[in-house]
């Protein structure tokens, strides 16, 4: 009887330790995904701070593309007012669409490409977009790791007991796979 009681206590302690360890691991993974989303937002903020200032310096050279500048400003405003990951990624997608149109315009007009201000703008946009892309990939990797963990047995039991919910992956805007069309 005493041996059975000791075995039961040991099993209970092991289950509790597993539950405690699993819970703490899930908290760490969810916070890692949240922190990674903050990195995405940091790069968005860099984009929204940097690009309009650079665009202002290029506007005189590129008066014919005023609609792109307006689209960038509108998307920036939408992003500032967004409150969810999906709303923010949709607004960021609008910025990307406008920026890709801007890059197409610059590639199609050699006189614009030769302008030092435009060259600087293109370099900064390319660098910023690369940073955003890397951080988005890292966010999706963190979400994937978290999602796999909360769905695997037996951690799925701990996850459901403590209310760990699915996180949304970053998804590109519909139509992002199509090259932008620029017409004058």
Enter the pTM of the model.
0.60
Mean pLDDT confidence for 27-39: 90
Mean pLDDT confidence for 115-121: 71
Q: What is the DSSP string of 4-44?
A: HHHHHHHHHHHHHHHHHHHHHHHHHHHHHHHHHHHHHHHHH
The pLDDT value given to residue 104: 74
pLDDT tens digits, one per residue of 3-14: 898 999 999 999
pLDDT tens digits, one per residue of 66-94: 667 777 778 778 887 888 877 888 888 88
Tell whether the model's pLDDT for residue 50 goes beyond 70: yes
- Are the C-beta atoms of residues 105 and 65 closer than 8 Å to each other? yes
CA separation for the pair 173, 68 (Å, rounded):
18
Alpha helix ranges (H) inside the chain: 2-58, 66-81, 85-108, 110-114, 116-151, 155-161
């Amino acid at each position: 009887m005493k041996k059975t009681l000791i075995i039961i206590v040991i099993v209970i302690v092991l289950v509790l330790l597993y539950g405690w360890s699993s819970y703490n691991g899930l908290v760490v993974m969810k916070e890692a995904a949240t922190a990674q989303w903050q990195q995405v937002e940091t790069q968005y903020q860099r984009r929204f701070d940097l690009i309009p200032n650079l665009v202002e310096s290029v506007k005189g050279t590129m008066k014919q593309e005023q609609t792109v500048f307006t689209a960038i400003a509108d998307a920036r405003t939408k992003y500032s007012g967004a409150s969810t990951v999906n709303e923010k990624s949709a607004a960021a997608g609008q910025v990307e669409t406008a920026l890709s149109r801007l890059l197409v315009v610059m590639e199609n007009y050699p006189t614009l490409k030769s302008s030092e201000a435009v060259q600087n703008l293109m370099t900064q946009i390319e660098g910023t977009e690369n940073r955003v892309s890397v951080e988005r990939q890292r966010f999706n990797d963190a979400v994937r790791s978290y999602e796999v963990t909360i769905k695997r047995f037996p951690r799925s039991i701990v996850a459901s007991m403590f209310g760990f919910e699915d996180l949304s992956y970053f998804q590109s805007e519909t139509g992002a796979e199509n090259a932008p069309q620029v017409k004058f």
